[in-house]
């Protein structure tokens, strides 16, 4: 059913003093019933009476009842087929259609009046149920807003009778998504307050202290399906719903008549007193309660007592200026103070990269999106490793390089922003927590609850359920009510990897409210999510959603269909992202898939995809399909899309659709992105700092993935190291760091104990990035939870002083034109030397001189003393998880061993070749190429027993997976009876 958009302008007018006070507010979306509304309701009533009552009466009079006079099936079969027989069958079909439609009316009426949950689906109804829904909505339009018939975030987290808790406790809960909290509190004394701005600027400053100049509003109890909200109160009395923050700031943390306090703008209770800004207008307000006959003496006393708790009672300033504050988020549990060295700062939430006073030119959108950045960084690292392995194992000439292209320009800035902003630990905890919850519920034979959204607040995870689902499994706890499940960060860290399907892969970040990050589960929305705003702003939101869904770490398989945008985004995840040219192709595709999923669910006996994910086939079925449609569909296409989306949440399909006006049929939740980057959904109680991926940063990120594509061709990973060392005696470095194996530094004095570990780690990062390291990348690597500018600058100064200067006075730690930190050529690592030796042996002087090649390759293998930074302390060097050096080093060592093996085999020195291969295997034990060459070199010795022993050792190392196909084929060639021989060896 089309949803009607509330105008941003106020319909409030000044009302005379004779107007009744504390009048019950009008519904949020339709403030005043028009004559047209009553006409629609009357016509809907007539239509329902005709279809529900008139049709059966007409059938009974003209064609009779559908039931036969006698029950004689055999006699019926023997009768001749006549016109009356066909008429009887047709009459029976009409009776069935009437019964189905009547059932649809009853189901829709029950859902509309109860206001809870998604209307039940009548089997086979389809258009009949849609017609019933429209007629019921039109009929009830005069008593409730039609938008409320569609379950939304405003209907989540409803308070339950018998589950009342002190408001003081509820004040320290998770941020909810409720602008119209459905409190069943007809007799409750809890109340939410609207705060008043002080008198106008031209008024006497001392007059603010007089109660008579201050306006108050008393939160009204629910009327039907309507509930008071601060947004509506601000829209009605201040002319702009966005001024609700002024009311919130005036009343925040002030004691209400029931003893509780206002702590969150979206959680208000009937009976609370709200002080209002001085320019508030409307007959619902109370200015002088002592002289207002409509206000009971009890309420007068409550307002009088409440007025004494305001800022004006203390002589403090106040008023509308408070409206600049952020939407208040409930108090979070304080994090334990960590131990830290003098260089370190106390842990801070990772999701606040903007705390630094300068971003050094890095794109802020990526800095402020930790989950998106972590997903992109992980996917990019996987892509680069793929390119390395394909280059090493493809055997194609010119493709055996080790070095991925170094990004430059905007791509380099984007890569640095990903390194700074990424929160891989947060992604890991989120993934383990969700899978752990699914595994725990499966162990208890309980279904997964429908989750509409998730909040991440200071490491704690809060799931917002569509409806109460009982007590959560430990260590999960109930949140502010039975529709919230909460998992503390400390409890989440107890989870290990669980062998279960990702339960909620459709969760995607929308933005932040204060320190809390909202993830909306697009897959579970009962209808379409619409996004309005300028086209460029919408495109930035759509790109962010698509990129995070394509690369996030808390999902397994999914399909993301992009329409109207994003054709260039497919390199991020070619197996997930699919681009369609237009809406017609989308509708054709989704109609077929919707039919297929309905049939598959029915055949499997599941109610929804959530049930299927926890069943025996959880790893092969029910992958979500999320549709992102940036272009606004036509009216006809929008109706078809709404019909598809009506049952989409049960099928694991989600729709995010862009619109210019914000009015779409079947839009369950409506959002708007502003030019200032705010994501607004007033009726859902949302006002977020939106997570976006602007066009320029989108292009830069895509460039990183395109450059790392293993299928790019001969211009893939290069063969030239980023930094070539002078390997002659004249090129002896001033500072030499040994990274391949235990970490050692030659040429520098060891710093004092408090500084040593930090400086060593910083130097290792710089040595692995000779192209330069952004200062913020360096600080985020050393302090993943954040650090202030002065600490970072002190570290750089200390590192520069430790490294010293060259004989000509040039600092060994410099800064390039882009502001990145670079090392002088006099500071060298053994990894630099290893790369340079291999390059010279295979592409430099060793190409023309066999003796030089053999010496260089031998010297290179001597440098290999073990894995990279073998003795690094636990808890440090976590940034290595973002690097690909762990893949580069084994491949480089393997290539060196293979080249030296080839060098010796040219002269039939098999033992020397075996020695070189064994040396390389100590660093690259899983490289199949080394094992194959070792088999050939051993075979060249002419010793079958030694070859059999090697084959047996290789089989033992392969484990349950068995030998790789190429190795097995090689053994068949070299030792045809190897299977029997190995079995005999035991």
Is 921 within 8 Å of 866 (Cβ atoms)? no
Is 899 within 8 Å of 838 (Cβ atoms)? yes
Location of structure tokens 């697009």: 522
- Summarize the confidence of residues 927-945 as an average pLDDT: 90
Q: What is the structure's pLDDT at 693?
A: 95
Nearest to 638 by CA among 560, 580, 586, 561: 586
Write out the two tokens for 813.
Answer: 């730690």
Q: Phi, psi at residue 687, to the nearest 5°?
A: -150, 100
Most confident of 3-12, 207-216, 352-361, 668-677: 668-677
Confidence of residue 463 (pLDDT cuts 50, 70, 90): very high
Determine which of 18-22, 225-229, 356-360, 687-691 has the lowest per-residue pLDDT on average.
Answer: 18-22
Is 508 within 8 Å of 372 (Cβ atoms)? no
Location of structure tokens 């509409």: 452
Higher-pLDDT residue of 658, 133? 658
Q: What is the structure's pLDDT at 30?
A: 35
CA distance linking residue 98 with residue 51, whole number of Å: 7
Q: What is the structure's pLDDT at 909?
A: 92
Query: pLDDT at residue 79 above 80?
Result: no
CA distance linking residue 29 with residue 11, whole number of Å: 11
Higher-pLDDT residue of 976, 296? 976
Q: Say how many C-beta atoms besides its own lie within 10 A of residue 124's C-beta.
A: 8
Determine which of 107-121, 431-445, 714-728, 861-875 has the lowest per-residue pLDDT on average.
Answer: 107-121
Cis previous bond, 883, omega within 30: no
Query: pLDDT at residue 495 above 70?
Result: yes
Write out the two tokens for 197.
Answer: 């701005």
Q: Which residues of 943-961 are buried (b: 16+ CB within 10 A; e: fewer)?
A: eeeebbebbbebbeeeeee
Determine which of 214-218, 228-232, 819-823 has the lowest per-residue pLDDT on average.
Answer: 228-232
- Summarize the confidence of residues 795-821 as an average pLDDT: 93
CA distance linking residue 248 with residue 239, whole number of Å: 16
Under DSSP, is residue 494 helix (H, G, I), strand (E, B) or coil?
coil
CA distance linking residue 274 with residue 796, whole number of Å: 52
Under DSSP, is residue 57 helix (H, G, I), strand (E, B) or coil?
helix
For 443, half-sphere exposure in the C-beta direction (CA atoms, 13 angstrom radius) is 12
Q: What is the structure's pLDDT at 578?
A: 92
SS (H, E, C) 60-93: HHHCCCCCCCCCCHHHHHHCCCCHHHHHHHHHHH
Is 196 within 8 Å of 215 (Cβ atoms)? yes
CA distance linking residue 188 with residue 165, whole number of Å: 11
- Summarize the confidence of residues 76-83 as an average pLDDT: 61
Tell me the residue length of the chain.
986
Could you tell me which residues are beta bridge partners of residue 557?
none
Strands 477-478 and 507-513 come out as unpaired
C-alpha pair distances (Å), 383 with each of 374, 377, 495, 722: 14, 10, 28, 20
Q: Say how many C-beta atoms besides its own lie within 10 A of residue 92's C-beta.
A: 14
CA distance linking residue 32 with residue 832, whole number of Å: 76
Long-range contacts made by residues 89-98, C-beta under 8 angstroms, separation at least 24?
Answer: 91/59, 91/63, 91/64, 91/66, 92/66, 94/55, 94/59, 95/56, 95/59, 95/66, 97/128, 98/51, 98/52, 98/55, 98/56, 98/59
Determine which of 291-295, 733-737, 807-811 has the lowest per-residue pLDDT on average.
Answer: 291-295
Could you tell me which residues are beta bridge partners of residue 909?
none
CA distance linking residue 829 with residue 651, whole number of Å: 56
- Summarize the confidence of residues 832-839 as an average pLDDT: 92
Query: pLDDT at residue 386 above 60?
Result: yes
Determine which of 24-33, 57-66, 84-93, 258-267 has the lowest per-residue pLDDT on average.
Answer: 24-33
Burial classification of residue 123, based on how many CB atoms lie within 10 Å of its CB (0-12 exposed, 13-18 middle, 19 or more buried) = exposed
User: With a threshold of 0.95, does the pTM exceed it?
Assistant: no
Determine which of 54-63, 538-547, 594-603, 923-932 has the lowest per-residue pLDDT on average.
Answer: 54-63
Nearest to 618 by CA among 522, 523, 502, 446: 502
Query: pLDDT at residue 397 above 50?
Result: no
Q: Which residues of 153-188 are buried (b: 16+ CB within 10 A; e: fewer)?
A: bbbbbbbeeeeeeebeebbebbbbbbbbbbbebeeb
Is 162 within 8 Å of 171 (Cβ atoms)? no
Could you tell me which residues are beta bridge partners of residue 653?
625
Q: pLDDT tens, 280-321?
A: 887 678 765 555 556 677 777 788 778 777 654 444 333 333
Query: pLDDT at residue 363 above 80?
Result: yes
Q: What is the structure's pLDDT at 963?
A: 85
Higher-pLDDT residue of 561, 101? 561
Q: H or E element: which one contains 228?
A: none
Q: Quick one: DSSP state of residue 805? A: B
- Summarize the confidence of residues 45-67 as an average pLDDT: 79
Determine which of 307-311, 523-527, 830-834 has the lowest per-residue pLDDT on average.
Answer: 307-311
- Summarize the confidence of residues 886-894 as an average pLDDT: 88
C-alpha pair distances (Å), 311 with each of 207, 304, 322, 330: 13, 14, 12, 21
Binning the chain into helix, strand and coil, the percentages to the nearest 5 are 45, 10, 45
Confidence of residue 140 (pLDDT cuts 50, 70, 90): low
Q: What is the structure's pLDDT at 176?
A: 46
Beta strand residue intervals within 229-339, DSSP E: 273-276
Q: What is the structure's pLDDT at 142?
A: 55
Higher-pLDDT residue of 686, 769? 769
- Summarize the confidence of residues 756-775 as an average pLDDT: 93
Under DSSP, is residue 388 helix (H, G, I), strand (E, B) or coil?
helix
Nearest to 728 by CA among 852, 564, 910, 882: 852
Write out the two tokens for 317.
Answer: 């300033």
Write out the two tokens for 908.
Answer: 């039939």
């Amino acid at each position: 059913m089309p949803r009607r958009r509330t105008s941003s302008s106020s319909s409030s007018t000044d009302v005379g003093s004779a107007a009744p006070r504390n009048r019950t507010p009008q519904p949020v979306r339709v403030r005043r019933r028009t004559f047209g509304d009553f006409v629609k309701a009357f016509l809907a009533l007539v239509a329902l009476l005709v279809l529900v009552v008139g049709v059966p009466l007409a059938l009974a009079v003209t064609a009779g009842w559908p039931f036969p006079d006698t029950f004689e099936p055999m006699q019926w079969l023997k009768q001749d087929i006549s016109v009356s027989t066909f008429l009887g069958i047709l009459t029976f079909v009409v009776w069935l259609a009437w019964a189905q439609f009547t059932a649809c009316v009853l189901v829709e009426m029950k859902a509309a009046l109860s206001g809870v949950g998604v209307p039940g689906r009548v089997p086979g109804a389809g258009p009949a149920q849609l017609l019933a829904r429209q007629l019921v909505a039109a009929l009830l339009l005069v008593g409730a807003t039609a938008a409320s018939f569609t379950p939304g975030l405003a209907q989540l987290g409803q308070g339950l009778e018998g589950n009342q808790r002190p408001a003081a406790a509820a004040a320290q809960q998770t941020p909810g998504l409720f602008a119209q909290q459905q409190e069943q509190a007809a007799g409750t004394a809890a109340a939410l307050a609207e705060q008043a701005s002080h008198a106008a600027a031209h008024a006497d400053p001392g007059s603010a202290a007089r109660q008579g100049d201050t306006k108050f509003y008393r939160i009204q109890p629910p009327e039907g399906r309507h509930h008071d909200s601060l947004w509506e109160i601000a829209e009605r009395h201040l002319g702009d719903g966005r001024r609700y923050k002024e009311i919130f700031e005036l009343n925040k943390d002030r004691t209400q008549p029931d003893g509780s306090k206002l702590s969150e703008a979206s959680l208000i209770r009937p009976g609370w007193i709200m002080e209002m800004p001085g320019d508030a207008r409307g007959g619902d307000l109370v200015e002088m309660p002592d002289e207002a006959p409509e206000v009971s003496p009890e309420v007068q006393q409550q307002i009088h007592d409440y007025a004494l708790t305001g800022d004006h009672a203390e002589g403090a300033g106040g008023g509308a200026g408070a409206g600049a504050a952020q939407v208040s988020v409930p108090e979070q549990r304080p994090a334990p103070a960590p131990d830290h060295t003098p260089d370190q700062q106390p842990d801070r939430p990772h999701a606040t990269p903007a705390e630094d006073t300068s971003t050094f030119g890095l794109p802020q959108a990526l800095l402020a999106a930790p989950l998106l950045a972590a997903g992109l960084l992980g996917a990019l690292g996987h892509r680069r490793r793929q390119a390395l392995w394909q280059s090493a194992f493809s055997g194609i000439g010119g493709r055996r390089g080790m070095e991925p292209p170094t990004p430059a320009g905007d791509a380099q800035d984007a890569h640095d922003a990903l390194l700074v902003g990424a929160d891989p630990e947060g992604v890991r905890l989120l993934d383990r927590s969700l899978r752990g919850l699914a595994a725990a519920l499966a162990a208890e034979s309980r279904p997964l609850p429908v989750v509409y959204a998730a909040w991440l607040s200071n490491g704690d995870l809060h799931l917002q359920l569509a409806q109460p689902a009982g007590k959560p499994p430990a260590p999960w706890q109930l949140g502010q009510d039975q529709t919230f499940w909460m998992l503390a960060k400390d409890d989440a860290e107890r989870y290990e990897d669980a062998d279960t399907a990702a339960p909620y892969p459709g969760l995607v970040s929308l933005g932040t409210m204060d320190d809390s990050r909202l993830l909306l589960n697009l897959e579970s929305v009962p209808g379409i999510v619409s996004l309005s705003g300028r086209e460029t702003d919408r495109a930035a939101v759509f790109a962010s959603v698509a990129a995070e869904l394509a690369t996030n770490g808390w999902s397994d398989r999914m399909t993301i269909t992009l329409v109207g945008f994003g054709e260039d985004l497919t390199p991020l995840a070619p197996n997930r992202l699919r681009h369609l040219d237009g809406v017609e192709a989308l509708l054709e595709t989704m109609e077929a898939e919707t039919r297929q999923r309905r049939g598959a669910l029915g055949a499997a006996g599941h109610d929804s995809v959530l049930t299927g994910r926890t069943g025996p086939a959880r790893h092969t079925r029910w992958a979500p399909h999320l549709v992102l449609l940036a272009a606004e569909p036509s009216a006809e296409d929008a109706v078809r899309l709404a019909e598809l989306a009506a049952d989409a949440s049960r099928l694991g399909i989600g729709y995010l659709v862009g619109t210019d006006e914000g009015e779409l049929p079947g839009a369950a939740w409506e959002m708007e992105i502003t030019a200032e980057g705010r994501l607004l959904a007033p009726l859902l109680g949302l006002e977020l700092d939106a997570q976006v991926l602007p066009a320029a940063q989108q292009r830069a990120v895509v460039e990183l993935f395109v450059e790392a594509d293993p299928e790019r061709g001969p211009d893939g990973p290069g063969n030239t190291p980023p930094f070539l060392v002078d390997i002659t005696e004249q090129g002896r470095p001033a500072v030499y760091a040994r990274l391949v194996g235990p970490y050692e530094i030659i040429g520098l004095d060891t710093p004092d104990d408090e500084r040593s570990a930090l400086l060593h780690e910083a130097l290792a990062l710089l040595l692995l990035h000779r192209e330069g390291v952004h200062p913020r990348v360096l600080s985020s690597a050393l302090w993943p939870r954040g650090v202030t500018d002065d600490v970072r600058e002190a570290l750089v100064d200390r590192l520069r002083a430790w490294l010293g200067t060259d004989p000509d006075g040039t600092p060994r730690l410099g800064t390039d034109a882009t502001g990145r930190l670079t090392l002088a050529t006099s500071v060298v690592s053994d990894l630099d030397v290893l790369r340079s030796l291999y390059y010279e042996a295979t592409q430099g002087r060793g190409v023309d001189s066999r003796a030089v090649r053999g010496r260089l390759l031998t010297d290179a293998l001597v440098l290999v003393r073990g894995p990279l930074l073998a003795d690094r302390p636990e808890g440090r060097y976590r940034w290595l998880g973002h690097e690909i050096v762990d893949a580069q080093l084994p491949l480089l060592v393997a290539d060196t061993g293979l080249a030296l093996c080839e060098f010796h085999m040219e002269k039939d020195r098999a033992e020397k070749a075996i020695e070189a291969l064994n040396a390389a295997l100590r660093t690259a034990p899983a490289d199949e190429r080394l094992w194959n060459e070792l088999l050939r070199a051993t075979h060249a010795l002419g010793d079958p027993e030694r070859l059999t022993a090697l084959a047996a050792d290789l089989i033992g190392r392969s484990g349950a997976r068995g030998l790789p196909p190429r190795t097995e084929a090689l053994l068949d060639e070299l030792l045809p009876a190897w299977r029997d021989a190995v079995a005999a060896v035991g």
